[in-house]
Structure 1
Amino acid sequence: MERCFSVLLLGVVGPPCSGSSSHSLQYFYTGVSEASQGLPRFVAVGYVDGQPMDHYDSNTRKKVPAVPWMRKVERDYAELWRNSKRRSSELVFKQSLVNLQNYYNQSDGFHTFQLMYGCELRGDGGKGGYIQFGYNGRDFIALDKETLTWTAADTQAQRSKRKLDADRAGNQYQKSYLEETCIEWLRRYLDYGKETLLRTERPVVKVTSQAEHDGTETLVCQAHGFYPKAIETTWRRDGEVMDHATFRRDVAPNSDGTYHAWLSIKVDPKDRDRYRCRVGHDSLLEPLDFAWEETASNLGLIIGCVVGAAVALLVAGIVGIYFYKKHQDGYRAASSE
């Protein structure tokens, strides 16, 4: 049930917490009980495949495209764009914060109420969707769209569950939205932004080594500059997957819209050559294996050759100029006789 509500705290809306091998449309709403240092009381951000597409906040009260292709959507669906329900959601969030403070018997102070919802088109043709609310960075309540009931995270959320479960028609509407309307809009956005969203960028992979104090060695595999976000990376020893010994960081975005990934493993230096980093991505015809290679000596040799060649060219040039000058001096001397 948990979907990383912590990234939405204080109105800082971040990208989805987990990647997808297919395509997704997601929305993140955050309301706060008190404005502080210019922080909006309400923020809403939409994402397609983890990329921001539009933004709304209570300070500007405008829905603003976050990428150029969204301006085409705004133009073609002007009426729907103008009638966006972000403003009404802002009012609902304001009242909900008051209700939740009463549920938890809390006094005035800084509190957050968050909504996360979205849909997914999977690579195998399947569909997914979710609607979930959080309070003060923790799970509050989520829709089970198969049973058309809500799952409460704690005792206080049971009050909301009873009200929402009773609205069978409303729950059916939410299910239809996730499985039909949301999917339809996802397909539209993918078509409008296809040059960006449907492209593939091949990962650049590098394996480095770092000696440790205990005599072991850490091999680090870095893949960067790839798109889409979904990527499969594993450390293998003699072909065997070493997940239990692998330390990895989450796939993270780069400033240019691509992504990078990082994973490491501690090894005995004597066994270093038995390890390979395997990388699989949509941009590759098949997964590729990468091993650590000692490049320092080769780099020194290359630099030495380049410097040597440059020096040789410089000397040849000086010698050439000297003999050319001597030749010209001789020619002038012969002409004067």
Structure 2
Amino acid sequence: MGRLRGPGWLLGALLLLQGACPGTSSHSARYFLTAVSEPDQGLPLFTAMAYLDDQLIGFYDSSWRRIVSPVAWVQKTEKEDPQLWAMHTQMAQHEELFLRRDLATVQNLHNQSGGFHTLQYLSGCELSKKRGRAQFAYDGRDFIAFDKETLTWTAASATAQVTKRNWDANLSQSKLIKFELEETCTGWLRKYLEYGKETLLRKVPPVMKVTRKDSHEGLETLLCRAHGFYPKEIDVTWGKDGEVREGDTFRGVVSPNVDGTYYTWLSIEIDPKERSHYWCHVEHDGLEKPLDLAVEESASVPVWLTAVGIVSGVLAALLLAVVIVVVLKKRAEKAAYGAASTSDPGSDSSARA
């Protein structure tokens, strides 16, 4: 039975893109690598996507075998140091080879010689808190994950126990993975902070809107919305007569916009007679001082409209990721075609001779 390769140097595969994180714990780098056993409806045999926080900053797949980025400051590094960029593209190509081999090994563990199967690898880190994660999934289900505190692997299935025993026995490999998650990754984050500091360290204040909508049994819901802010960290609370109300509020997640900023919302259900006693309190690095916002008396919105706004924001972010990948691939294909068409037409014949 084959032995899975440990991901000891996997975080080095896209180090150029890992550098996209600034020096605070509020930012993270995440990498999603996927290998498939056979092409399906044009799906490449291997893909790698790099994210800064929630934004796609780099993409690689087996169909055109190079790293491309939609982010200006990452593109700048390619122009300033093309050799470094080429080196990391080669490392991504090696990672493609190894992950596809790992997929074949896991298929053997499951006694599956054919059919469509996937092996996915997720890794990532944060800078200040030295958080890191490394885990595998097979056919969309957790397979095995690394615990860097105990230097052991956690198997998510009986089949993964074989891999766990092999990897737990290799203590030197586990120590190397821990070092790369805590030290190597964060070291590259610091190095490349300088490249993207104008974007990554900017402060954009939130655009605030406080509205109300009819609820049930004579009650109403107050909605405090924050749009277009950066960085991601924001503190939004509802207060009544100077007292923070946490227990009876409903908080939306902080979600990405298509332009790299974020939005969130916070609601609370109240008696309309007490509306004037409520304030939305907002704190963000982009604000000179905290804001306290009252309810706009004329701003009443239907429930369905609020729901549509939330859902459409999520769909827009997902659509952008798809569009970015398609555009990047088209640009790469066009560049490759252009390079081929401008090459010496006689070189082909001389090579054959």
TM-score interval, smaller chain: 0.7 to 0.9
Kindly indicate whether the alpha-carbon contact (under 8 Å) linking 2:32 and 2:49 is maintained by their aligned counterparts in 1.
yes
The 2-side partners of 1:33 and 1:230 are apart by 40
For the structure 1 residues 105 and 243, does the alpha-carbon distance in structure 2 shift closer, same or farther, using more than 3 Å as the test? farther
Q: Does residue 146 in structure 1 map to residue 149 in structure 2?
A: yes
**Alignment equivalent of 2:235, drawn from 232, 235, 247:** 232
For the structure 1 residues 58 and 162, does the alpha-carbon distance in structure 2 shift closer, same or farther, using more than 3 Å as the test? same
The 2-side partners of 1:106 and 1:216 are apart by 58
TM-score (norm 1): 0.74
Unaligned runs of 5+ in 1: 1-19, 298-337
Q: Deviations over 1:143-191 (max 9, x none)?
A: 1222221122232222111111122222222122122221121112221
The 1-side partners of 2:183 and 2:50 are apart by 18
Which residue number corresponds to residue 71 of structure 2?
67
The 1-side partners of 2:114 and 2:174 are apart by 32
Q: Deviations over 1:11-65 (max 9, x none)?
A: xxxxxxxxx8523222221223332222222211222343322210111111112
Q: What aligned pairs does 1:135-214 form with structure 2 within 5 A after superposition?
A: 135-214=138-217
For the structure 1 residues 293 and 106, does the alpha-carbon distance in structure 2 shift closer, same or farther, using more than 3 Å as the test? same
The 2-side partners of 1:103 and 1:244 are apart by 48
Q: What aligned pairs does 1:201-280 form with structure 2 within 5 A after superposition?
A: 201-280=204-283
C-alpha deviation, 1:73, in angstroms: 2.1
For the structure 1 residues 144 and 182, does the alpha-carbon distance in structure 2 shift closer, same or farther, using more than 3 Å as the test? same
The 2-side partners of 1:291 and 1:240 are apart by 14
The 2-side partners of 1:253 and 1:21 are apart by 18
Which residue number corresponds to residue 84 of structure 2?
80
The alignment-based identity, stated in percent, is 55
1:91 alignment partner AA: L
Q: What aligned pairs does 1:273-292 form with structure 2 within 5 A after superposition?
A: 273-292=276-295
Kindly indicate whether the alpha-carbon contact (under 8 Å) linking 1:24 and 1:186 is maintained by their aligned counterparts in 2.
no
Which residue number corresponds to residue 103 of structure 1?
109
Unaligned runs of 5+ in 2: 1-23, 301-353
Kindly indicate whether the alpha-carbon contact (under 8 Å) linking 2:26 and 2:232 is maintained by their aligned counterparts in 1.
no
C-alpha deviation, 1:98, in angstroms: 2.8
Q: Does residue 114 in structure 1 map to residue 117 in structure 2?
A: no
Structure with larger RCO (C-alpha < 8 A, sep 6+): 2
For the structure 1 residues 140 and 295, does the alpha-carbon distance in structure 2 shift closer, same or farther, using more than 3 Å as the test? same
Kindly indicate whether the alpha-carbon contact (under 8 Å) linking 1:21 and 1:230 is maintained by their aligned counterparts in 2.
no
Q: Secondary structure at the match of 1:250?
A: coil
How large is the RMSD of aligned CA atoms in angstroms? 2.3
Kindly indicate whether the alpha-carbon contact (under 8 Å) linking 2:54 and 2:256 is maintained by their aligned counterparts in 1.
no
Rg larger for? 1
C-alpha deviation, 1:286, in angstroms: 4.0
Kindly indicate whether the alpha-carbon contact (under 8 Å) linking 1:219 and 1:265 is maintained by their aligned counterparts in 2.
yes
